[in-house]
Amino acid sequence: MDINSNRWNRWRYSLYTPIYDVVGNVFRHARQGSIAQLALQAGNHVLIVGAGTGLDLEFIPEGVQVTATDLTPSMVRRIQKREHNNVTALVMDGHALEFPDNHFDAVVLHLILAVIPDPEKCLQEATRVLKPSGHITIFDKFLPVGKRISLRRKVANWVTRVLFSELNRQLEPLVASVLGLRIVRDEVDERFVIFRTVLLEKTVLLEKEDM
């Protein structure tokens, strides 16, 4: 089985579902800070791609409509069991979002770009369904630009890519590959230095060029 595939991700995260909350809550503070920078207001519609069991939901303000998607059915069932108003949970591939263009006010991409087989396609899809001037918030592990991959990190990546995600993907080339995206804020996580919290904006220019 190809470990860089949807099939592999669905299989391994099905196994992880019972313990996902325990592990995922390690990043509770980072999740909260990442969502806070979206400045969501009642009436907004936010999309969470790769939502897992729904750990982000507690940080979404009241009155915000949430659509949460994940590739793994067992994860989506956990989301559906959470007590949270205005949430629609769907099994969906982050490479091919089943939503119209310019549909959401904001998109959350937490711990998915280092996991999904084609992160460029995922970011393109997130941008497509985002309204002009809308924002994407990202929390994930990325290799800094210009940093040489050490032997230690290469060896570690052989292990982590089998178990949960890649260590050596770079954010900047991904953002540069998507027309109309710009980085608004980029911060290294104080607790987990290989992780970054990033805020992206979809510029109005993209909307004009699509017309």
In the chain, what are the domains?
A: 6-142+169-204 (3.40.50.150)
What confidence score (pLDDT) does residue 204 get?
A: 67
Q: Bigger pLDDT: 130 or 3?
A: 130
Nearest CA to 97 out of 73, 77, 67, 117 is that of: 67
The phi and psi torsions of 78 (rounded to 5 degrees) equal -65, -40
Q: How many CB atoms lie within 10 A of CB 165?
A: 18
The model's pTM is 0.92
Residue of higher predicted confidence among 188 and 151: 188
